[in-house]
Amino acid sequence: MATFKEFRNNVKPNWCPGCGDFSIQAAIQRAAANVGLEPEELAVISGIGCSGRISGYINAYGLHGIHGRALPIAQGVKLANRELTVIASGGDGDGFAIGMGHTVHAIRRNLNITYIVMDNQIYGLTKGQTSPRSAEGFKTKSTPEGSIESTLSPLEIALSAGATFVAQSFSSDLKQLTALIEAGIKHEGFSLINVFSPCVTFNKINTYDWFKENIVNLEQFPDYDPTNRVTAMNKIMETNGMLTGLIYQNTVRKSYEDMITGFRQEALAKQDLSLSEEHFAKLVAEFK
């Protein structure tokens, strides 16, 4: 069985020193090893942004897609080879701005993939502009007088769209984050894990200390029931989305691929996809 070290490669991350994405990468590698995966059984699909580089830093199948399009690619990979464990990843700009349409539809489809969003509440790769997760009044190069837009709540949106697994963590809490990623991988359906990942270079407001002062860990509520969708939504609103832990999980609803009539269990790579001349001619004839 592979150890987390076997999910490392020789590519050195070029994130800024102190970036929260380092911990998220480590958590993915540890979680993959803890659930018993081998590197060739994992595919990491990412979008554009600082966080989008992560697909090249893990020893597994990887694809660095285009801005906001990690989820369509990840869904295609899973449908083509359901034997693979598929993790999609990206930043809050990638997933909650240009990619928000894909995020919502991936949630409602409920394919068996895990989506990890590295939420630094700013656009880091393009040198510090306001993102959909930036607070009202947030001053950046794109909003020098302070943002006048309200902050998007991905957790509320996920529950409204019918998510079957919603969790949130903090990059500094490696133990909790690793456990949540393990749970997301094991979940039969779409798993959304939003992770507060401070940008030490451009976001001087939402710092490590700020998150530590404002985060509410669900472990503080021993009677909290993550299977109750109404309770989950209320707790998100009560804490203004600043809670961490497993927020909601529905284990009853089937995954998308399990509901496709006649969907073959074996991977496409193991199927006989050869095409006879007769069959090809028949297919062509349908378009005449």
Amino acid of residue 129 = Q
267 inside domain: no
For residue 261, what pLDDT is reported? 76
CATH number for the domain that contains residue 11: 3.40.50.970
Q: What pTM does this model have?
A: 0.93
The parent domain of residue 56 ranges over 4-261
240 inside domain: yes
Integer Cα distance of 215 and 96 in angstroms = 21
Q: Report DSSP state, residue 97.
A: I
Amino acid of residue 267 = A
| Terminal Cα distance for the chain, rounded | 53
Q: Report DSSP state, residue 150.
A: P
Integer Cα distance of 88 and 284 in angstroms = 36
**Could you give the C-alpha distances from 146 to 13, 93, 125, 200, in angstroms and in order?**
32, 18, 20, 20
Integer Cα distance of 200 and 98 in angstroms = 24
20 inside domain: yes
Biggest CA-to-CA distance, the chain: 68
Bridge-based pairing of strands 243-249 and 165-170 is: antiparallel
25 inside domain: yes
For residue 264, what pLDDT is reported? 67
272 inside domain: no
For residue 263, what pLDDT is reported? 67
157 burial level (CB within 10 Å; 0-12, 13-18, 19+): middle
285 inside domain: no
282 inside domain: no
220 burial level (CB within 10 Å; 0-12, 13-18, 19+): exposed
Q: Report which of 85, 121, 95 is spatially closest to residue 200, judged by C-alpha positions.
A: 121
Q: Report which of 156, 171, 220, 165 is spatially closest to residue 22, judged by C-alpha positions.
A: 171
The answer to whether 84 touches 257, Cβ cutoff 8 Å, is no
The answer to whether 70 touches 90, Cβ cutoff 8 Å, is yes
Across the chain, which has 288 residues, the per-10-residue mean pLDDT values are 91 95 97 97 95 95 94 95 95 94 97 97 92 94 94 97 98 98 98 97 96 96 96 97 98 92 72 86 89
Q: Give Rg (Cα) of the chain.
A: 20
Integer Cα distance of 160 and 175 in angstroms = 28
240 burial level (CB within 10 Å; 0-12, 13-18, 19+): exposed
Q: CB under 8 Å to 101, separation ≥6 — which residues?
A: none
Domains identified in the chain, total number? 1
Q: CB under 8 Å to 53, separation ≥6 — which residues?
A: 13, 14, 15, 46, 64
